Amino acid sequence: MTRIAGAQIPVTKDIYTNVKHIKTAIDWANKNKVDFLLTPEGSLSGYMNSYEELERMPLIEQEIEIVKYAAQKGVGLVLGTEYIKNIPTGKVKVSQVRYYNDSARLIDAYDKQMVIPAEYAYAGNSPEYAIILDGYGQHGAYNFKAGTFICNDVWGQLNGKQIIITDLMFYKEQQADIIFHASNGFRGSEVGDEYNNIKLKEYADINLWMHSRFDIPIVTVDNCYKNNGDFYDGPTSSTSGIILNGEWLVKAADSGTDYFYYDFNF
């Protein structure tokens, strides 16, 4: 058995505040014997920082701090954060999900594909493989394959490019056991008067429903603050929880900080 959890937590602009929120989630995960914990997009760094802001952050140091803390608590992390990445043409800012086991070892990382210009100049490529997670957790040995999406990778808007079904078929062919989806969507006044936040959430949840019909469970978590890091007590931009074949196995609260887990047979 493997216990998979999600943390719907505030994502602020202050990395030290974010570390506190993540550590609190790790404490909850430890108490509830969680093997892997998913956090929202940008949960460590904050979301939509400039390259210069990100470069000034003690990002590596705080990532090491949080990963060591999780390892001490016996919790593997599926960590959403912005990251400075080296590519052949230089350094770029990316949105990543970074996989750490409960021994603080970096297993792999996934770069967001469906970026918008306001977020990132660099978009990741379609995945080449499902990430293999194996080891010995709080409930014994585990071995499973994970697919990954970040926020808009599921909503699917980038100059009309539609990659989602292809990637879902890829994960299906790879025999992925689960898909992790870290999100940080627009909400409240951020969407403008021409939109209704409830309708946007319905749109997001319908997309999650459709994706879940591929017979692969999706664990998804959203930031519960505004994505500029400000306090917000309204509904999240998408439902956090675990969905499979159109049915929610477990759901987080509609707003605010909340945690959830589900036990899988892998």
Per the CB < 8 A criterion, the answer to whether 119 and 48 are in contact is: yes
The sign one gets for the Cα dihedral 165, 115, 9, 203 is negative
Residue linked to tokens 């007590």: 233
Q: What is the mean pLDDT of residues 233-245?
A: 95
Mean pLDDT of 199-210: 87
Domain 2-264 belongs in CATH node 3.20.20.70 = no
User: Residue 161: pLDDT above 70?
Assistant: no
Residue 187 CB neighbour total at 10 angstroms: 23
Would you kindly state where each structural domain of the chain is located, as residue ranges? 2-264
pLDDT of 193 over the 50 cut: no
Q: Is it the case that residue 211 has pLDDT exceeding 50?
A: yes
DSSP helix/strand/coil, 172: helix
Angle between the N-to-C axes of helices 59-72 and 15-31, in degrees from 0 to 180, rounded to the nearest 10? 10
C-alpha closest to that of 26 among 109, 102, 99:
102
Residue 85 pLDDT > 50, yes or no? yes
Closest by CA to 225, choosing from 48, 55, 57, 54, is 48
pTM: 0.94
What percent of the chain has pLDDT above 70?
90
Is residue 210's pLDDT more than 60? yes
pLDDT greater than 70 at residue 195 = no
Average pLDDT, whole number, for the chain? 90
pLDDT value, residue 121:
65
